[in-house]
Structures are given as C-alpha cells and as structure tokens.
C-alpha cells in the first residue's frame, strides 16, 4: 500500500473530523475523490461497515490495512481523540514513505548496473566465443582454451548470481528484514521508524510494555524482535527506569538507549528524540551512499569488461603466433 497516499488520506480525514463531519461521511467524501486502488477499496468497505452500525474497532480490524495503522485507529477511538491520533499517524507514514523511497532509489543504481553488466557480459561472451571459435576452434576445445572459456563466462555468471541474491533479499521478507538491520542507512532508518512507532503508541496512551510487545510483533522477522522481547521482559520484571535498561541489546545500539534516556520520565520525548536523531543519520548516510554508489558501479562495470576482454586479447595473440609459425 502507498504510504504517501495513506498519510494524505489521514491528514484530510483528521481535518474533516475536527470540522465536525461524522466519520462515515468524511470517509465517504474522501473515497469519492480518490482514484481506484487498494486504499480506496479498503476505506469504502470500512465506511460501509460503519454505516451498518459496526463499531470502529471491529470494522477497522476486518480491513487489509497495515497492522500498525489498525491498532492506532482503534487506540484513537478508545481515547476519544481520533483526529489527534490520525494526525500523528499521517506524520509517521509520511516520514516512513520519504525515507524508504530514498532508500529504494539508492538501490536503483546497483540494480541497473548489474542488469546492464549482465546483458553486456553475455553479449561479449557470445560474440567472443563465436569469433574466436571460428578461427581457433581446435585451440578453444583444448585444455589451453579452458582459461579463455572461463574468462569470458565467469563475469556474466557471477553477475547473475549477485543479481539473484539481491532480488532474493528484496523479495523474501525474512531476508529483507535481516538485511534492513545490518546495512548502513537501512539500519538507521529502521531505528528511526521503530522509535517513531513507539513514540506514537506512548502518546496515544499505550503502556510501555504493550508498546514494546507490539513493536516486537512488527519486527517479528528481524533480529530486533528478540531485543525488544528482552527489553519488555526487563521492564515487566521491575526495571522500569530508563537508567536500569541494558545497553547491549543487539541490534539496538547503545546510542539508541542513551537518546531514550534523555527523556527521563517522559519516555515519549526520549523516543521522539531518538527518532529525530536516527532520521537525520539515515538521511546523511543515504546522501553519502548516493555519491559513492555511482562511481563504484561504473568501476565494477569497467572491471567486468576488462576481465572479459583480457582472454580475447590472449586468444588474438595466440592466433597471431599461429599465423607467424605457418609463415
């Protein structure tokens, strides 16, 4: 689901609720102006359920919307401050959309370079093989031609393997979750998103242990889930003050706990500070990587070409030597 569209929808919905428009009517008006898509379909179904008298908590639970969003809407309804919660949720998804779109853009360069490298390497391999085989067929099939064959085919094979690994990490949720907590910029963005989610839950009246439990459920496929469960266990065992929490819960770094501690008794303020700092760190690292990815990608492409061209030159030299011996 498009997070930017979800954020805009909730901004408008919060404004309409503040103006006194009933929830069902506000959702119906917003859906009328939306283009067809998953969000519009889900919100139209939500409006239909509400019109039939279904409580908001039950109606939102039936929808195929992000679990975090459904939980926050239910909390907003329970606290009688749905417009305020919707505004916070809109800000959360707007920041998440901006950060993850920039990270996805960061991955476009390597993906395109690998794709171009694969196509170019395959073409060079085929042309070189046909060209040299037509002139040095016996040499190609001999043991001395093994280095030529491996030289022209290793680059496309390696490039294809790297590309497949990258696609697997991007498409398989458990692999994607683990990579997200280990790669620079992605790790900082994950910490910022985690801190923002906990901040939002605390501001909406969720007890801290419950917020940690839900955050752990959100990160169920990642290494952060175990750390969050241990953190919750420590809080429930009586370590309620931030100074008592362990600062070695990998992959949560000591800096994260230090920033949370700055809020003192106001945990929401501490997590908000951590979210801001890690959002800035993620943006900074994204900028650094954007400047570094392009030249590294060009260098990689150049190395692949050199790797393949070298055996071709070797074959040409062999062919020239054969002609010299004949003469």
Tens digits of per-residue pLDDT, 55-101? 888 899 888 988 888 888 888 888 788 888 888 888 888 888 888 77
Tell me, yes or no, whether 154 and 29 share the same domain.
no
pLDDT of 110-160, one tens digit each? 777 778 777 877 877 777 667 666 655 555 555 455 566 666 777 778 888
Q: Closest by alpha carbon to 51, among 77, 20, 24, 13?
A: 24
Q: How far is CA 4 from the centre of its chain?
A: 15
Tell me, yes or no, whether 36 and 134 share the same domain.
no
What is the biggest distance separating any 2 CA atoms in the chain, rounded to whole angstroms? 98
Q: Given 65, 97, 115, which residue is the final one in a domain?
A: 65
* Structural domain for 289, as ranges: 81-327
pLDDT of 248-269, one tens digit each? 688 888 889 889 888 888 889 9
Tell me, yes or no, whether 225 and 102 share the same domain.
yes
Tell me, yes or no, whether 14 and 116 share the same domain.
no
Tell me whether residue 304 is in a domain: yes
Share of the chain above pLDDT 70, in %: 83
CA distance 157 to 55: 57
Tell me, yes or no, whether 295 and 326 share the same domain.
yes
Tell me whether residue 27 is in a domain: yes
Tell me, yes or no, whether 142 and 184 share the same domain.
yes
CB within 8 Å of 215: residues ≥ 6 apart: 194, 197, 198, 201, 228
Tell me, yes or no, whether 31 and 164 share the same domain.
no
Tell me, yes or no, whether 32 and 102 share the same domain.
no
Contact 274, 260 (CB under 8 A): yes
Tell me whether residue 76 is in a domain: no
Tell me whether residue 71 is in a domain: no
pLDDT of 143 reads 47
Tell me, yes or no, whether 85 and 52 share the same domain.
no
Tell me, yes or no, whether 112 and 233 share the same domain.
yes
Q: Given 65, 93, 108, which residue is the final one in a domain?
A: 65
Of the ranges 13-22, 225-234, 246-255, which one carries the lowest mean pLDDT score?
Answer: 246-255
Residue 159's alpha-carbon distances to 114, 120, 289, in angstroms, are 6, 11, 21
Tell me, yes or no, whether 232 and 292 share the same domain.
yes
Tell me, yes or no, whether 112 and 51 share the same domain.
no
Tell me whether residue 215 is in a domain: yes
Its sign, for the CA torsion 87, 89, 92, 97, is: negative
Tell me whether residue 8 is in a domain: yes
Tell me whether residue 75 is in a domain: no
Q: How many domains does the chain have?
A: 2
Tell me whether residue 70 is in a domain: no
Residue 206 has pLDDT above 60, yes or no: yes
Q: Given 65, 90, 109, which residue is the final one in a domain?
A: 65
């Amino acid at each position: 689901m498009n997070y930017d569209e979800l954020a805009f929808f909730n901004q408008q919905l919060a404004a309409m609720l503040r103006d006194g428009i009933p929830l069902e009517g506000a959702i119906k008006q917003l859906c009328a102006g939306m283009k067809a898509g998953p969000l519009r379909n889900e919100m139209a179904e939500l409006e239909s359920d509400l019109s039939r008298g279904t409580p908001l908590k039950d109606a939102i639970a039936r929808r195929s919307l992000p679990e975090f969003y459904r939980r926050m809407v239910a909390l907003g309804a329970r606290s009688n401050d749905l417009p305020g919660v919707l505004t916070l949720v809109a800000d959360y998804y707007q920041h998440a959309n901006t950060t993850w779109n920039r990270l996805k853009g960061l991955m476009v360069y390597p993906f395109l370079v690998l794709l171009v490298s694969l196509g170019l390497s395959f073409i060079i391999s085929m042309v070189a093989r046909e060209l040299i085989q037509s002139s040095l067929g016996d040499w190609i099939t001999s043991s001395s031609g093994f280095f030529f064959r491996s030289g022209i085919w290793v680059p496309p094979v390696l490039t294809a393997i790297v590309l497949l690994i990258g696609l697997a990490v991007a498409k398989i949720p458990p692999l994607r979750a683990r990579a997200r907590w280990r790669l620079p910029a992605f790790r900082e963005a994950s910490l910022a998103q985690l801190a923002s989610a906990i901040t939002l839950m605390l501001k909406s009246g969720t007890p801290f242990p419950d917020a940690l439990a839900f955050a752990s459920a959100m990160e169920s496929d990642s290494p952060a889930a175990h750390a969050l469960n241990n953190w919750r266990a420590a809080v429930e065992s009586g370590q309620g003050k931030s100074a008592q929490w362990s600062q070695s819960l990998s992959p949560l770094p000591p800096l994260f706990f230090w920033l949370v501690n700055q809020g003192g008794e106001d945990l929401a303020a501490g997590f908000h500070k951590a979210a801001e700092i890690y959002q800035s760190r993620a943006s900074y690292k994204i900028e650094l990587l954007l400047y570094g990815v392009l030249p590294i990608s060009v260098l990689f492409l150049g190395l692949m070409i050199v790797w393949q061209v070298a055996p071709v030159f070797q074959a040409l030299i062999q062919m020239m030597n054969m002609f010299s011996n004949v003469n």
